[in-house]
Amino acid sequence: MATYTPPLRDMQFVMHELLNVTDELKMLPRHADIDADTLNAVLEEGGKFAAEVLAPLNLSGDMEGCTLDKATHEVRTPLGFKDAYAQYVQGGWPALSGDPAYGGQGLPLVVNQCFYEMMNSANQAWTMYPGLSHGAYECLHAHGTEAQKATYLPKLTSGEWTGTMCLTEPHCGTDLGMLRTKAEPVAGAPEGTYKLTGQKIFISAGEHDLAANIIHLVLARLPDAPVGSKGISLFVVPKFLVNADGSVGERNPIFCSALEHKMGIHGNATCQMMLDGATGTLVGQPHKGLAAMFVMMNAARLGVGNQSLGLTEMAYQKAVVYAKDRIQMRSLSGPKSPEKAADPIIVHPDVRKMLLTARAYAEGGRALAIYTALLIDKELSTDDEDERKEAADLVALLTPIIKAFFTDNGWLATSHCLQVFGGHGYIREWGMEQLVRDARINMIYEGTNTIQSLDLLGRKVLGDNGAKLKKFGRLVQTFVEDEGTNEDMQEFINPLADLGDKITKLTTELGMKAFQNPDEVGGAAVDYLRVAGHLVFAYFWARMAKIALEKKDSGDPFYTAKLHTARFYFAKLLPETAGLIRTARSGVAPLLAMDEALF
């Protein structure tokens, strides 16, 4: 049965050959002393933690799940999870990219991105516990008071405490303007102190036994709040109140009342949370909580994309090992292993198609994920305002693509890799059906993929008349012009340039339609995001193909495999965009013409 092998060689290729991250980072004052050896050494150790500590707990954690003691409201995580978290904290992993002012190591987010990909491959359910803490940290770092930062950030940075985001309520998911949780000011208490009452559901890692305290970021309404999303405030509500000396104090009445019985990620506690007069302090300005929470939500959306990237890689690794070992039938062109009773199934074209689909989506996704992490490093660290704005705009454009395109691809790739196993893929002991179940949630939470598509087309593209899209388009155009006369690159450059032209025309057409009927955005958005995702992947695959072509005679099989995978992507996956463009152009009429009564 396959074990997990951290894809360090491909990560190093993306960082050092494709993106030249050390040169880019050295231009930022915060990372002027960074070097490739440090990045590689940290990730090598991180890979060992993922492969040796987390991966062995994935199947057992899924089978055991979490247990709620209804009398005490305490949740016990699967066997081994708590010890793994203790090793994670002891190794200093929570502090990798944290601010040194609060105990962080100050390493670039590029490192954290790669480390979390490996942990997600090894054990997504476990990784969600510390993963949510990063969003809570970023939110408080950006919007917390000095007192809140001093109280919570050092503990979140060290991993002694973990964090959550409490948004969803039984009657509202994405439409947070409908939420009902109340926050009442406390007479005689320090300014900004409130008592919160209400119910939240689907709270990942809302209760567990891994850390000494859990810091909940909760959306609620003040008594004078206007209706809708403009009346939402944000509060930090710890599981245990914090004493003046920073130690854990008395229990705060925010409790897990039930665990959700889920299709996947059984090792992560998805909680229904009750707030019964829980003490919380206001984060940011009254009624401006949604804007503050978006710091955490955007971090979570990138994190969810990374989860599916990790699952795609793990599914591919398992399926390749199986396909090389499993013998079944003969090759249509004649026996390839005549000494055996049948040929390994990897000789069959469609098996290879499924494997290469997963590989192409994993390697393309890795390039985009690391590129986006580098953009965030620039946004947070540069002294150049123009560079900061450029990076922020590209991150805003790419965030819904990473969340939705990666998770759609992850669902497709894990399903394909399960198919490689045939009937054995449907059996628990091989671990494939777990990957499929775990992958399915990623398309739903942190804003469904339809919401991401509406955000991309409606807000990020049409909302600024295509300004952000044009910024990425200029990257594509520059590369096309630079390589336009390179005969060896035509198989990659021509389809990339063609898709760039087509998405420009499609965007203009949809903008005109939306001006007449806003529902046209809803009818085209999902197809549009997938086309945009392919444009981004095609750009990175073309760049990777250029490097592989230059080094194809080096004797290193890595470049040979990279070139083959690039050719597969352009020949077999990118053509999907033709049908997507056609359906996006078909308009909203086929969706809305039928009367509701006929459904």
Output the six-digit token pair for 495.
Answer: 């389809």
User: Which element (helix H / strand E) includes 370?
Assistant: helix 349-381
Tokens matching residue 130: 């510390």
Q: What is the DSSP secondary structure assignment for residue 445, as one 8-state letter?
A: S
Question: Distance of alpha carbon 588 from its chain centroid, rounded?
Answer: 30
Contacts 24+ apart (CB under 8 A), 326-334: 326/421, 326/422, 328/422
H helices within 144-232, ranges in order? Answer: 146-158
Q: Which helix (H) or strand (E) holds 219?
A: strand 213-220
Residue with tokens 């290729």: 13
Q: What is the DSSP letter of 327?
A: B
Three-state DSSP state, 586 = coil
Residue 326 sits at the vertex; the CA angle it makes with 324 and 332, to the nearest 5 degrees, is: 80
Strand partners, 236: 217, 281
Rounded CA separation 108/112 (Å): 7
List all residues 6 or more positions away from 215 whose beta carbon is below 8 Å from its beta carbon. Answer: 133, 136, 152, 155, 156, 161, 162, 163, 164, 236, 237, 238, 239
Tokens representing residue 536 in the block: 């981004």
Alpha-carbon span 205 to 474, nearest angstrom: 41
Is 483 tagged catalytic? no
Residue 248 CB contacts under 8 Å (≥ 6 apart), including other chains: 212, 213, 240, 241, 242
Helix H, strand E, coil C: the string for 233-250 is EEEEEECEEECCCCCEEE
Phi-psi region of 335 (alpha: psi -120 to 50; beta: other; left: phi over 0): beta
Q: Which of 340, 305, 308 is nearest to 324 (CA)?
A: 340
Calpha distance 372→543 (Å, rounded) = 16
Distance (Å, whole) CA 360 – CA 567: 10
* b/e code 86-109 from CB counts within 10 Å (16+ = b): eebbebebbbbbbbeebbbbbbbb
How far is Cα 368 from Cα 580, in angstroms, rounded to an integer?
A: 21
In the set 117, 138, 446, 483, the catalytic residue is: 446
Q: Which two tokens stand for residue 445?
A: 């939470």
- 358/412 Cα distance (integer angstroms): 8
Q: Which amino acid is at 508?
A: T
Positions marked active-site: 446
